[in-house]
Amino acid sequence: MIKRILITGGAGFLGSHLCDRLVKAEQDVICVDNFFTSQKSNIKHLLDEPNFELIRHDVIYPLFLEVDEIYNLACPAAPGHYQFNPIKTTKTSVMGAINMLGLAKRVKAKILHTSTSEIYGDPDVHPQPESYRGNVNPIGPRACYDEGKRAAETLMFDYRRQNKVNIRVVRIFNTYGPRMHPYDGRVVSNFIRQAMAGEDITIYGDGSQSRSFCFVDDLIDGLLKMMNAPDELCGPINLGNPGEFTIRELAELVVELTGSTSKIISDRPQPQDDPKQRCPDITLAKEKLGWEPQIALKEGLAKTIDWFKSIDISQYRAPTPNY
């Protein structure tokens, strides 16, 4: 059966890959985006497809459509992007969730919300299972994103309890791959861009903080599996790659894979509230979805570097200051 599927944030990094997959699967795809952190080049190749439609719209305002499924991705995701206009970030998370849940309730659509590992803040439990309630600073510079996403999860579960909306909540851990914004300030895009330009590679702090990096194709598999899972599996469920690396190890790997002459420097301060370690416990996703990542960091980074080499970085707007 052909479904009408709304993807908010559909022109972004993850959203555009999801659009690709669902257009290819011959579903009827509606992409909604206000292009705050993305550009049309991500979805340009889809514009002539008969089963793809683009709507420029800001999800903090109501949206009336008839759809069967909603993937709610609209939200700036990189720290530099979400801290650029923090009030707007909270509005997008919270008001965007309310509007999409109102829409889901009215048309009885299934709705999947992309939450985040930032729900866990700077975690004191490692690795992080879904049952961990987190260590979030509610008034710090990351709070607009972390608390916005936490409030969106609350709304998802209250609409389920109060209005019987069919919900799915996934908590995504650091994901990378082609179509990351080259100037989003995230660690993978920064290091690859710096290595390719022969510039210093900027480690913040001493580089001992860790992250777990998931390649985008694996993550999209997880989103699709979650949307198509039995209704009782509403989540939250962690999606991420449990391979854990320090930021220094990542810098060294990027230098090796690019063959760069860049120096790795660590004279920059670590940002406030920067989580010291992060690694998903994906036991639930393995058991309930039969999902686990297939692409190791080295292989995924090589694909990402190939993509960075194929684009003209000067065509990308730097939407936010990027130090």
Catalytic residues: 145
Q: How far is the CB of 142 from ligand UDP (least distance, A)?
A: 8
Q: What does residue 160 show for φ and ψ, rounded to 5 degrees?
A: -65, -50
Q: Please tell me whether residue 243 binds ligand UDP under the rule CB under 6 A.
A: no
Q: Does 211 bind ligand UDP (CB under 6 A)?
A: yes
Note whether 27 binds ligand NAD by CB under 6 A. Answer: no
- 6: Cβ–Cβ under 8 A, 6 or more apart, which residues? 30, 32, 65, 67, 69, 70, 71, 103, 109
Tell me the one-letter amino acid at 268. R
Distance CA 230, CA 172 (A): 20
Query: According to the binding rule CB under 6 A, does residue 43 interact with ligand NAD?
Result: no
CB of 103 to ligand UDP, least distance (A): 4
| Among 53, 271, 277, 292, contact with ligand UDP (rule: CB under 6 A) | 271
Least distance from ligand UDP to the Cβ atom of residue 263, Å:
14
Instruction: Give the residue from 87, 153, 165, 84 showing the smallest Cα distance to 116.
Output: 153
136 lies in the site for ligand UDP, by CB under 6 A: no
How many residues touch ligand UDP under the rule CB under 6 A: the total is: 24
Which tokens in the block code for residue 260? 């760069």
Which residues are CB-contacts of 1 (< 8 A; sequence separation ≥ 6)?
none
Integer CA distances (angstroms), 40 to 167, 195, 306, in order = 29, 26, 21
Decide if residue 245 touches ligand UDP (CB under 6 A).
Answer: no
Cα–Cα dist 297/212, whole Å: 9
Interface residues with ligand UDP (CB under 6 A)?
62-64, 78-79, 98-99, 102-103, 105-106, 174, 186-187, 190, 202-204, 209, 211, 247, 270-271, 274
Interface residues with ligand NAD (CB under 6 A)?
8-9, 11-15, 33-38, 58-60, 73-77, 81, 92, 96, 114, 116, 172, 174-175
